[in-house]
Amino acid sequence: MMKRFLLSLSLLTVMAVSMAGNTQPRHKKVYMFGVGQSFTDSLAYVTEVQEIEAYIMPNGFLSERSLYTLQLNNYLVAKRGREHMTCAVFFNTSKSKADKKLDKIRKKYRKGFLGTRLIELRIDEFQFKPEEWVAPYDNSGEEKPKEEKPKKKKK
């Protein structure tokens, strides 16, 4: 019993260490669309599926995804006068899977989801812009050793 526990613990440790080593995202083509809705209004907005170069984390999440939702939110405030919108971005590396997800969301709104009317945003109205991945700041508090300057020889 104790041997099984130690074996399981060691396997989990090896898996955690191997997964932690690769934290750099991959630059990849993805297909995404966004949805914006206010829960105090009867209008919701949805974009078309768009092809974009983005960064995907090793765990499959879209890097800087909050910035993509912010792009949609800023558009809705600036161009449509819609404040207090809740926005979400959906993505997939497969266009057909992204299209299926968009169709599923459209069907929910067409059935009268929360009594909301869906407004489609064409690609000529709104288009996502690629975001750059920025490595997280290391704030561990440890000071890095200073580089020593070469000492001058005394004559």
Domain count of the fold of the chain: 1
Residues 57-114: tens digit of each pLDDT:
888 888 888 899 999 999 999 999 998 899 999 999 999 999 999 999 999 888 876 6
Cβ pair 45, 75 in contact under 8 A: no
What is the SS3 assignment for 65-89?
Answer: HHHHHHHHHHHHHHHHCCCCCEEEE
Asked, for residue 142, whether it belongs to a domain, the answer is no
- In this predicted structure, the answer to whether residue 137 has a pLDDT above a threshold of 80 is no
Cβ pair 90, 101 in contact under 8 A: yes
Asked, for residue 28, whether it belongs to a domain, the answer is yes
- How far lies 79's CA from each of 70, 74, 124, in Å? 14, 8, 13
Domain, as residue range, for 98: 23-121
Asked, for residue 109, whether it belongs to a domain, the answer is yes
pTM strictly above 0.85? no
Asked, for residue 135, whether it belongs to a domain, the answer is no
Q: What does the mean pLDDT of the chain come to?
A: 81
Asked, for residue 9, whether it belongs to a domain, the answer is no
